[in-house]
Amino acid sequence: MIIDIHGHYTTAPPALGAWREQQIAGLTDLSAAPDPADLRISDDEIRQSIETNQLRLMDDRGIDMTVFSPRASFMAHHVGDFATSAQWAAICNELCHRVAQLYPDRFAPAAMLPQSPGVDPATCIPELTRCVQEYGAVAVNLNPDPSGGHWTAPPLTDRSWYPLYEKMVEYDIPAMVHVSTSINPAFHTTGAHYLNADTTAFMQLVQGDLFTDFPNLRLVIPHGGGAVPYHWGRFRGLAMAMGKPELQEHLLGNVYFDTCVYHQPGIDLLREVVPTRNILFASEMIGAVRDIDPCTGHHFDDTRRYVEATGFSDEDLSAVQERNARAVYPRLDALLESQGRPATAVAAP
């Protein structure tokens, strides 16, 4: 089995975006504000949006299951206030839940949180609870910068995040640390802001001692960890200078990286630097990079090709493509078990 732990509903029916535009217009003109009941998306519209896009590519690339969350750039926590984010998150999470209901053996829902700049992260707990208990969410997306590129939030190690972490640990659910749209013109959203955030989140964790307080908390840093594999020596050296343990002891029992890296040398470096047990297969299709690489003739985000060409043993490849995800996402593992899909055994050499 191949599990893609990083998918977003980037192809949602146009009615979703139209409703969001009305919601934003309503922030300055209350008469324009839409009611959630105004949004009508049929099951057939969902099927059309999924079967011609994500599902088609999953079939083409041999991907069995995708952890599916709302479109990251659409989270836009900087827009409006907490009530705005709460309403928007509820709508987007329900839509991903409906996708998983229509294709239960292909998609598992992950939830966005109704974060808002300057608002206590604990306000997200009711939506987290609803998504886990009612929708069967197997993960959440956690935005370390709700301000949209201005970084006004405290670091992830700050105690203001602790109530949210406590609930995540209670539910045994991981978070993918994933920012949203950048409104800072200095940071391109997907080319800079996303990768900056991956690197920044890792360094925040290096500086702190979060996992001393939360030894069972699990965080996934996407896009291969940003600059982390390339500058592993720098991070190790900084950790030493701060009197922290080696990174394997300090962070790698709790922090994981996905394979959303869109060229072979990048995946090769990830494999060489990061322990296999900390690497999770992912592609983020259909996402930031959608074109065909003229150098290979294949889509940039066809990451299975890179992972399988990088030299993993059969056992390690099985871990990256399936078993690590089942360990980091225990609710996903339970879902698969309930569907009669136990973990794939690795043949003895």
* Strand-strand pairing, 279-280 and 175-177: unpaired
- Kindly list the distances between the CA atom of residue 227 and the CA atoms of 20, 22, 122, in Å, as whole numbers in the listed order: 33, 38, 30
- Kindly list the distances between the CA atom of residue 288 and the CA atoms of 20, 56, 96, 195, 254, in Å, as whole numbers in the listed order: 20, 18, 19, 12, 27
* Contact assessment for residue 320 and residue 276, using Cβ atoms and an 8 Å cutoff: yes
- Listing DSSP states for 172-225 in one string gives T--EEE-------TTS-IIIIIHHHHHHHHHHHHHHS-HHHH-TT--EEE-GGG
Element of type H or E holding 97: helix 82-102
Active-site annotation holds for 284:
yes
Catalytic residue among 127, 134, 246, 284: 284
SS3 6: strand
d(CA 260, CA 304): 10
Computed on alpha carbons and rounded to an integer, the radius of gyration of the chain in Å comes to: 19
Measured N-to-C along each axis, helices 194-207 and 232-241 cross at an angle, to the nearest 10 degrees, of 30
Catalytic residues: 284
